Structure 1
């Protein structure tokens, strides 16, 4: 059995980059603190895949929806790196094949609530993403009834734009309609 050495200090972005790759868990960095959680289960992945499919068929050709890409919210020490379940970014930026995105390139961040992420997604990430200036933030809750809470940035804070369990229609980051019921099998 091998021993994993965990950081015993706050991490910089360079130290985050130097961590060994591990796809068995999900990693984020919150003000230098390494956060480890289990990989999402099937329904979570279904929701991400279906939402990406729905968005990518409607987004203008200059935008794309990507699942599980790194998002740097702060590159100064101590760093914060989140991994939203889905992000909408400009296709021109995606074509540069960045290892991660910065908040100024993200038009929409989406989090799918997991049993251990409810407060993180609804309170902390809501605040972090708004402070980073991301124009839109959606929270997908898979508890019955499945719902999406869509927030839009207004004067530096998110305002709830819609909370639906059937069909979501928004204009930011583009005119989009999402069949919420299709996000679960």
Structure 2
């Protein structure tokens, strides 16, 4: 989507879907507000690629890892659409979906970028719990990894790692 003039109102999901694609920036919709940030730096992109590669070699049949899919967090009222760095989802959803919805994702991994730390650690932590994603992992380029599991509607920190991490996304996955 290319946004030359920002909307002058809160946009809904239909308006979000009608926006033209823009590969020059990263766009999310947060409570009806279009949030535009620069494309991630090369190091960030390298980490996302590597996470997807490693996850795909270790995930059980029927699951895959994809970068930057759209996730509808809230479609009613002021809509929220997030774009996680890496999403783990059933492979049968890949062919017939434009975006993920509540109950579709098994895990989400976010790579912290300058300017995204608070969003990744606070806002997305709450939003991903709200849509029931069982596992949430925050990867910091400094080498630290925080692993959360959904427990009675909220995330509980289950492990913090440095360097290589063995995650418990169902079966144990090493990244």
1:85 match: 85
- Report the Cα offset of residue 149 of structure 1: 0.5
2:55 match: 55
Contact kept? 1:29, 1:79, Cα under 8 Å: yes
> 2:51 is paired with a residue of what secondary structure?
helix
Distance 2:25 2:61 in 1: 33
Distance 1:103 1:170 in 2: 22
Match for 1:167 among 159, 164, 168? 164
TM-score, normalization by structure 1: 0.90
1:5 match: 5
> In the TM superposition, what whole-angstrom CA distance separates every residue of 1:141-163 from its partner, at most 9, and x where no partner exists?
013xx111110000111011111
2:151 match: 154
> 2:127 is paired with a residue of what secondary structure?
helix
2:30 match: 30
> In the TM superposition, what whole-angstrom CA distance separates every residue of 1:127-178 from its partner, at most 9, and x where no partner exists?
11111111010101013xx111110000111011111012322332432111
2:19 match: 19
TM-score, normalization by structure 2: 0.95
1:45 match: 45
- Report the Cα offset of residue 106 of structure 1: 0.4
Relative distance call for 1:21 and 1:95 in structure 2 (3 A) is closer
Matched, 1:177 2:140: no
Contact kept? 1:135, 1:152, Cα under 8 Å: yes
Contact kept? 1:68, 1:83, Cα under 8 Å: yes
Give the alignment's Cα RMSD to 1 decimal. Answer: 1.2
> In the TM superposition, what whole-angstrom CA distance separates every residue of 1:51-101 from its partner, at most 9, and x where no partner exists?
1010000001100000001000111121100000000000111132x1111
In structure 1, the gaps of 5 or more residues are 179-185
1:72 match: 72
Contact kept? 1:11, 1:77, Cα under 8 Å: no
In structure 2, the gaps of 5 or more residues are none
Contact kept? 1:89, 1:105, Cα under 8 Å: yes
